[in-house]
Amino acid sequence: MLPPLFRKAVKESSDGRVLCLAKHERWNCLVGFGLSRKSELDAQLDREEERAIRMQLDFDRDMRAMQLFGFVEIPFDDSGRFIMPDHLRSLANVEDGLYFQGAGRFFTIWNPAELEAMGKDWESAQAACANLVAEANAKGQKKGASK
């Protein structure tokens, strides 16, 4: 389920309830954004190609375009529920628990174990995620004890 703050931003960005999801190119997580970001991707592709030419680096425009535009458009309901495609679940090692981390024009979706395995640069997100996992576990234990 898409958390309320992310749901609101994606809804406004997509002029409706469409979430764009893809595997992050470097990290073992997913990246999510709204449809409005599609217009930015062509400009990003042009900038990356121009930079590669300036620096005399190889650049495969077709491959990079497939990477940038290889996202899946997924509808979500008013509660933020959506069905994550199996191929994305396996690519990012997504299981039951998800941690959403905001990052400007996009956000990331993590398996808490994958986030914990990231380096020290991630300690703030790791601490926030660990806290949410602990809260969810405590709620689960209370619920189980009351039955």
Which domains, from first to last, does the chain contain?
A: 4-145 (3.40.1550.20)
The C-alpha atoms of residue 43 and residue 70 are separated, in whole angstroms, by: 16
Q: In percent, how much of the chain has pLDDT > 70?
A: 95
- At residue 143 the predicted structure's pLDDT band, cuts being 50, 70 and 90, is low
Query: What pLDDT shows up at residue 82?
Result: 94
User: In this predicted model, what pLDDT tens digit does every residue of 59-68 receive, in sequence order?
Assistant: 999 999 999 8
- At residue 146 the predicted structure's pLDDT band, cuts being 50, 70 and 90, is low
Q: Is the CB of residue 12 less than 8 Å from the CB of residue 34?
A: yes
Q: Identify the DSSP state of 36.
A: G
71: pLDDT strictly greater than 60: yes
The C-alpha atoms of residue 77 and residue 5 are separated, in whole angstroms, by: 14
Q: Which of 141, 137, 110 is nearest to 126 (CA)?
A: 110
- At residue 103 the predicted structure's pLDDT band, cuts being 50, 70 and 90, is low
Query: Which residue has better confidence, 76 or 104?
Result: 76
The C-alpha atoms of residue 97 and residue 112 are separated, in whole angstroms, by: 7
Query: What pLDDT shows up at residue 5?
Result: 85
User: In this predicted model, what pLDDT tens digit does every residue of 29-68 receive, in sequence order?
Assistant: 999 999 988 888 999 999 999 999 999 999 999 999 999 8
141: pLDDT strictly greater than 80: no
HSE toward the beta carbon, residue 121, CA cutoff 13 A:
3
HSE toward the beta carbon, residue 18, CA cutoff 13 A:
13
